[in-house]
Amino acid sequence: MELFVFVCAAIMILVGALGVVLRSNPVHAALSMILTLFGVAVLFVAREANFLAAVQVIVYAGAIVVLFLFVIMLLGVDRAEDLRTEPLGNIQRPLALVLGVGMFAVLTTAVVRSRDSLRFKGEGVATATLEDADGNIRQIARSIFGDYVVAFELTSVLLIVAVVGTVVLARRRKSERTPS
């Protein structure tokens, strides 16, 4: 059963990722990305990270992809992109492919070779049971609001700065506004 879930989620992730890279229409790419994000959420559940799976669906699929689609529709760039012209001529695509496969080979080698060195054990990750359904959430909350409370407060500053910066960037100045 675990194997079945893993294989299904892996197929979702890889098909979605290839769709993002290969589809020429930005709307199709964004929808393919949703497939990938859901696959990752499924694997989060399979690895007992229930809270993060919910956050993944809400924040990524619910907010970030909608933001992407909103910008695509707003700018009217939902036409297919011309994929033929390349700045570096004919070598760019083979070069990128070689670099990507090389990166995959290096990472896989590192993962397989270091498999036996994973020995450190922490305090344990709570799994959801019928008696204690929110053990995972409680554990993450204790970590975020305990050890990492300064980082958590700094992320709120980061979000405020990002919102204000975007408003300043996207605002039309009075001098630029066309008389109508």
The DSSP code for 11 is H
Q: Does 159 bind another protein (CB under 8 A)?
A: yes
Question: In 3-state terms, what secondary structure has residue 117?
Answer: helix
Q: Does 77 bind another protein (CB under 8 A)?
A: yes
Nearer to another protein among residue 133 and residue 162 (C-beta): 162
160/63 Cα distance (integer angstroms): 17
Q: Which of 8, 73, 91, 96 lies at the binding interface for another protein (CB under 8 A)?
A: 96
Q: Does 108 bind another protein (CB under 8 A)?
A: yes
CB of 110 to another protein, least distance (A): 9
Nearer to another protein among residue 75 and residue 130 (C-beta): 75
Q: Are the beta carbons of 28 and 81 closer than 8 angstroms?
A: no
Query: Which of positions 111-140 make contact with another protein (CB under 8 A)?
Result: 111-112, 115, 118, 120-126, 136, 139-140
Q: Does 150 bind another protein (CB under 8 A)?
A: no
Nearer to another protein among residue 70 and residue 130 (C-beta): 70
34/28 Cα distance (integer angstroms): 10
Return all residues near 16 (Cβ < 8 A) that are at least 6 apart.
32, 33, 34, 35, 36, 37, 39
x/- track of binding to another protein for residues 39-68 (CB under 8 A):
-x--xx-xxxx-xx--xx--xx--xx--xx
Q: Which of 8, 132, 134, 147 lies at the binding interface for another protein (CB under 8 A)?
A: 147
Q: What are the C-alpha distances in Å from 90 to residues 84, 85, 95?
A: 10, 9, 9
